[in-house]
Amino acid sequence: MATDPSSRSMGTVAMRWHGDSLELLDQRLLPSEEHWITAEGASGVAQCITDMVVRGAPAIGISAAYGVALAARHAGVGEWHSEINQAIRELAKSRPTAVNLFWALERMEQVFNSCDSLDDATKRLAAEAVRIHEEDLAANLAMADHALNVINAQQPISVLTHCNTGALATGGYGTALGVIRRLHEARLLERVYADETRPWLQGSRLTAWELSRDNIPVTLNADGAAAAIMASGKVKWVIVGADRITANGDVANKIGTYSLAVLARHHKVGFMVVAPSSTVDMSLASGLDIPIEERDGLEVREIRGIPLAPKGVDVFNPVFDMTPASLIDAIVTEKGVIQNPDITGMRVLFS
């Protein structure tokens, strides 16, 4: 039985694979409660992704891969082919924006298509899911090294981040938060300013929690404070993750990322996107082609059942936005760095 890559990841983890079952840390309840959910087969994993028990582009892809592995484990001998097929289709509908989901399912489907029995599928799909998980962790570590070279800090600096891109959003360590972790390890981090990230509050509930647990100096700020922080000269870089990067270097990420990129350019603060190659979608020409998820207005009108707005008021709740490549100074992937990204730079690494 392949071992759980989470056991090798640092600090907090989002999921635990036991070979025949998958546990997910319920991120909806953090930071007040650490509650683990055992996913009920592939359908259960799909529901956990939709409901944001597990979230963050790479973590969604890895969980979906384990979901396919679970589908094989639960399949009937006579119907295994159609049941696993059905599980892949169901998982693909769980969320629309992060391309890591579709990338992981495609990898699982390729393995599935070459399996000749249920026994073969059960073993090989589990092994592939573990491989996807391990590769993500390795990519995070490599990206942190590349990013440190780009930042090239000679003394401790402060940075600003958005959403949660840490161990909770990935196979462990983190993308943007992995870079911040590495800066801290290298004694080059003075402080992280963490946007609270309305409406779901990934910044206050998850990032501030992860960083505090790891004793990394963090200051939480309301999203609207980012401009004032940049104007004060306190931060040298804005470092964020991504949910999908298109062939011209445009980036979809958590709603509010685009405003940060505009602000960073105005204040001459560096803007860095950190994401594994599983987030790159060379099939889309530009960010305008990325499907942007809109979620229930309740996420804006209420917090945990407490009303914040008039009952039933109309709400616009897109949970991602698109930052054009022209506002990005560097895209860091495990394959290398693209400075001032454009279609040519993207093709060099991802042709």
Give the Cα separation of 57 and 97 in Å (integer). Answer: 9
- Burial string for 222-257 (b: 16+ CB within 10 Å, else e) reads ebeebeebbeeebbbbbbbbbbbbbbbbbbbbbbbb
Q: Which two tokens stand for residue 35?
A: 């509650």
Binding residue for ligand MRU (CB under 6 A) from 165, 204, 248, 323? 165
56 binds ligand MRU (CB under 6 A): yes
The helix (H) or strand (E) run that includes residue 211 is helix 208-213
Task: Say how many residues touch ligand MRU, by CB under 6 A.
Answer: 17
Q: Of 55 and 73, which has the nearer Cβ to ligand MRU?
A: 55
Angle at the Cα of 65 (from 61 to 70), degrees rounded to 5? 145
30 binds ligand MRU (CB under 6 A): no
**How far from 9 is each of 16, 22, 138, 155, 169, CA to CA, in Å?**
11, 16, 10, 28, 12
Give the Cα separation of 156 and 327 in Å (integer). Answer: 25
- In 108-183 the beta strands, taken as DSSP E runs, fall at 157-161
In whole angstroms, how close is the CB of 22 to ligand MRU at the nearest point?
18
> Taking the CA atoms of the chain, what radius of gyration do you get in angstroms?
20
Q: Of 90 and 243, which has the nearer Cβ to ligand MRU?
A: 243
Give the Cα separation of 2 and 66 in Å (integer). Answer: 12
Under a CB-based contact definition with an 8 Å cutoff, are residues 205 and 163 in contact? Answer: no
170 binds ligand MRU (CB under 6 A): yes
Applying CB under 6 A, the span of 124-132, 165-173, 303-311, 321-329 interacting with ligand MRU comes to 165-173
175 binds ligand MRU (CB under 6 A): yes
Give the Cα separation of 165 and 174 in Å (integer). Answer: 6
Tokens 């647990």 sit at which residue? 213
The DSSP letter of residue 55 is -
In whole angstroms, how close is the CB of 286 to ligand MRU at the nearest point?
19
The helix (H) or strand (E) run that includes residue 88 is helix 80-92
Q: Which residue is nearest to ligand MRU (CB)?
A: 241
Binding residue for ligand MRU (CB under 6 A) from 5, 58, 249, 287? 58
- Contact mark string toward ligand MRU, 271..310, x via CB under 6 A: ----------------------------------------
Binding residue for ligand MRU (CB under 6 A) from 15, 55, 132, 133? 55
How many residues are given for the chain?
351
319 binds ligand MRU (CB under 6 A): yes
Applying CB under 6 A, the span of 51-59, 124-132, 301-309, 330-338 interacting with ligand MRU comes to 51-59
Q: Of 56 and 249, which has the nearer Cβ to ligand MRU?
A: 56
163 binds ligand MRU (CB under 6 A): yes
Which of 243, 250, 281, 329 is an active site residue?
243
Does the annotation mark 243 as catalytic?
A: yes
Q: Of 248 and 253, which has the nearer Cβ to ligand MRU?
A: 253
* Active site residues per annotation: 243
Q: Which residues bind ligand MRU (CB under 6 A)?
A: 55-58, 98, 163, 165, 169-170, 175, 202, 241-243, 253-254, 319
